[in-house]
Amino acid sequence: PIILAIESSCDDTSAAVMVGGEIRANVVATQQVHEQYGGVVPELASRAHQQHLIPVVQEAMRRAKVAKEEIDAVAFTQGPGLLGSLLVGGMFAKTFALALGKPLIAVNHMRAHILAHFIKDPKPSFPFLCLTVSGGHTQLVVVRSPMHMEIIGQTIDDAAGEAFDKTAKLLGLPYPGGPHLDKLARTGNPLRFSFPVGAMAGYDFSFSGLKTAVLYFLRQQTAQDAAFIQNNLADLCASIQHTIIQTLLRQLTRAATDQELTQVALAGGVAANSGLRAALQDLAGEKGWQVFIPDFEFCTDNAAMVAMTGHFQYEAGDFASQLVSPDPRLKLT
């Protein structure tokens, strides 16, 4: 089938075209407007989606050399995400499908982050363990099939991406801070400062304690030395990043061991973190795991992963009616 997919859950507007399970185009318009506010402003995100969506869809169809009459189904992100953002993409998809007389496919965004692994080789085989680490979620998921997934652990407060962004903000880095912190951490000493590891009982995570610990530590240090952050920036970044990675990998290891899973996958924007990738590769060598990490383009928000999920749902006959509405809190299972 030829599937047009729309992603608009947060602050990236994206459209993709998939033909017979192969991605032919994946266009993403990232919104710059939020940087000056240090976080995503929902109302501005909805407006920017409204401006970007039609040009992005047109560009995806142009690159894929597909005419609208050839499309077999329209897939869109139903949730989770920001209500206003989801509404823009969802209303577009419904209208487009109605006008063309084509079926509609409602996609779960977190499922799509995981199924991004099936866009390109090498692909994991079922079952596998996926650690989804994004701006809004941290989940350990046992993936039994494209349609059958089970969350076995998740964050009880902040997401891993939020932990990066919030601690980076305390260090005075621009938003989103994750990539900046990653870069600075490369030249720092990860063992210089120690912060609490948020590995809970079972497979759950907690990152709010790290943020508070960093806040109090910086307050105390800068009271004595106003240039403390500036003079220790790389070590601070490396130590914070090390703590987040320790937390993630401790739970991942527990889960993989208990569940006897040897294929381990990363999904979501934080999978771009160079320290996490390197530490996971080392750990995998030690444990004999096979590691899967999608290309960066498919880790952050993109419509290719929505198209991939839409493709699986199309094959399974899982279509939505025109009565479908966005669900900001849509659950994975």
* Minimum distance, C-beta of residue 80 to Fe ion, in the bound complex (Å): 9
Task: Indicate whether 179 belongs to the interface with ligand ATP (CB under 6 A).
Answer: yes
Task: Indicate whether 1 belongs to the interface with ligand ATP (CB under 6 A).
Answer: no
* Minimum distance, C-beta of residue 39 to ligand ATP, in the bound complex (Å): 10
Of the pair 13, 243, the CB lying nearest Fe ion is at 13
Task: Indicate whether 92 belongs to the interface with ligand ATP (CB under 6 A).
Answer: no
Strands ordered across the beta sheet of 290-292: 148-154, 138-145, 128-133, 263-267, 290-292
Residue 288 annotated as lining a ligand binding site = no
Strand bridging mode 128-133 / 138-145: antiparallel
Task: Indicate whether 84 belongs to the interface with ligand ATP (CB under 6 A).
Answer: no
The one-letter code for the residue type at 322 is Q
Task: Indicate whether 137 belongs to the interface with ligand ATP (CB under 6 A).
Answer: yes
Task: Indicate whether 165 belongs to the interface with Fe ion (CB under 5 A).
Answer: no
Task: Please state, in angstroms and rounded to a whole number, the distance separating the CA atoms of residues 281 and 294.
Answer: 14
The CA-based dihedral angle spanning residues 291, 296, 297, 300, taken in that order and rounded to the nearest 10 degrees:
100
Q: 179 contacts which partner out of ligand ATP, Fe ion, none, CB within 5 to 8 A by kind? A: ligand ATP
Task: Indicate whether 135 belongs to the interface with ligand ATP (CB under 6 A).
Answer: yes
* Minimum distance, C-beta of residue 297 to ligand ATP, in the bound complex (Å): 11
Q: Binding mask 296-315 vs ligand ATP (x if CB under 6 A, - otherwise)?
A: ----xx--------------
Task: Indicate whether 301 belongs to the interface with Fe ion (CB under 5 A).
Answer: yes
Residue 135 annotated as lining a ligand binding site = yes
- The CB-side HSE value for 110 (13 A sphere, CA atoms) comes to 29
268: left (phi over 0), alpha (psi -120 to 50) or beta: left
Cβ neighbors of 257 (< 8 A, separation 6 or more) are none
Q: Binding mask 147-176 vs ligand ATP (x if CB under 6 A, - otherwise)?
A: --------------x--xx----------x
Task: Indicate whether 138 belongs to the interface with ligand ATP (CB under 6 A).
Answer: no
Task: Indicate whether 190 belongs to the interface with ligand ATP (CB under 6 A).
Answer: no
Interface residue list for ligand ATP (CB under 6 A): 9-10, 81, 109, 113, 134-137, 161, 164-165, 176, 178-179, 182, 268-270, 272-273, 300-301
